[in-house]
Amino acid sequence: MSNESVSEHPMIPLEFTTYGAELMEARAREFEALMAKRRSVRDFSPRAVPRALVEAAIRTASTAPSGAHQQPWTFVAISDPDIKRQIREAAEREEYTSYEGGRMPQEWREALAPLGTDWRKPYLETVPWIVVVFQQTYGVNPDGERRTHYYVKESVGIACGLFIAALHNMGLVTLTHTPSPMGFLSQILNRPAHEKPYILFPIGYPEEDAAVPDLERKELEEVAIWFDGEVKGA
C-alpha cells in the first residue's frame, strides 16, 4: 500500500444489525406504539430516581449526530434541593413577568390556553432531577483558543430528542420547559460564557393522579408529502 492511500483519519467497518422484513415491521410498530404513549407531564411525584438512570439518558442523548461531530452540548443534572429551589424561584419570576407582566402577547397566551400553563412551576422543586441542557455556541481548546461550532441548535435539538425518547423508554416522564429568558440558569449553574441555556427538563415519575391536556396528534397525511416511485428491493 502506498503512503498516500493511508489516511490520517482512518475509517472502520460499520457495525450494524439487519433484520428480516417481518421483524422490521414488528420493531417499527412496537417503537411507534411506545413513542405514541409519550406525553409531556407537569404533575410530578417526588419519588426518587437513581442517578444511574439519568446518566444512561445523558449517554444516550450524547450518541446524537452533530455538526462536524463536535457534540456541542453540556447536560447539567441537578438533584440538590437548594439549587432546585433557586431555579424554581428564578423561573417563576421570569414566567410571572411573561404571563402577568405583558411580555407574552395575547396570541401566544391563547395558543397556550389548551395546555393550562401559568407562571407557577412547583414541579421544579417536586422533581427528583432537573437536567438543564446548554448549547456550546463555540468551543474552547485547552489553550483557550476559540473553535467554531457548526449546526449547534440542530445538533442540540437532536440530542434532546434522543434524551426524551430514552427517558420515556425507561419509564420516566419529563417536560420540555423553556422558562424565558433562561439567562438565570447560567448564573445559578455557573456555566461559562460560551454555553447558552437551551432547554430545561424536569425528570421523574408522574404523580398518581397526573393529568395531561386532551391533545390529538396530526395524522400521517397531514405531516408527510410523498414523491413515491417504484419500490425496489422490498
- Options 8-16, 52-60, 140-148, 174-182: segment touching ligand IYR (CB under 6 A): 174-182
Angle, helix 152-169 to helix 51-61, in steps of 10 degrees: 140
178 interacts with ligand IYR by CB under 6 A: yes
> Do 133 and 201 contact (CB within 8 A), yes or no?
yes
Place of cell 456550546: 136
122 interacts with ligand IYR by CB under 6 A: no
The radius of gyration of the chain from alpha carbons, rounded to an integer in Å, stands at: 21
Q: Using the rule CB under 6 A, which residue among 179, 197, 202, 204 binds ligand IYR? A: 179
- Options 21-29, 110-118, 160-168, 226-234: segment touching ligand IYR (CB under 6 A): 110-118
Question: Cα dihedral sign for 43, 172, 49, 164?
Answer: negative
User: 74 or 180, CB closer to ligand IYR?
Assistant: 180
97 interacts with ligand IYR by CB under 6 A: no
88 interacts with ligand IYR by CB under 6 A: no
- CB 92 → ligand IYR: shortest distance, Å? 10
Which residue's beta carbon is nearest to the bound ligand IYR?
117
In the numeric block, which cell numbers belong to residue 197?
441555556
Rounded Cα gap, residues 95 and 101, in angstroms: 9
Residue (of 168, 145, 153, 167) closest to 34 by Cα position: 168
User: 63 or 178, CB closer to ligand IYR?
Assistant: 178
Query: Interface with ligand IYR by CB under 6 A: which residues?
Result: 95, 112, 115, 117, 177-180
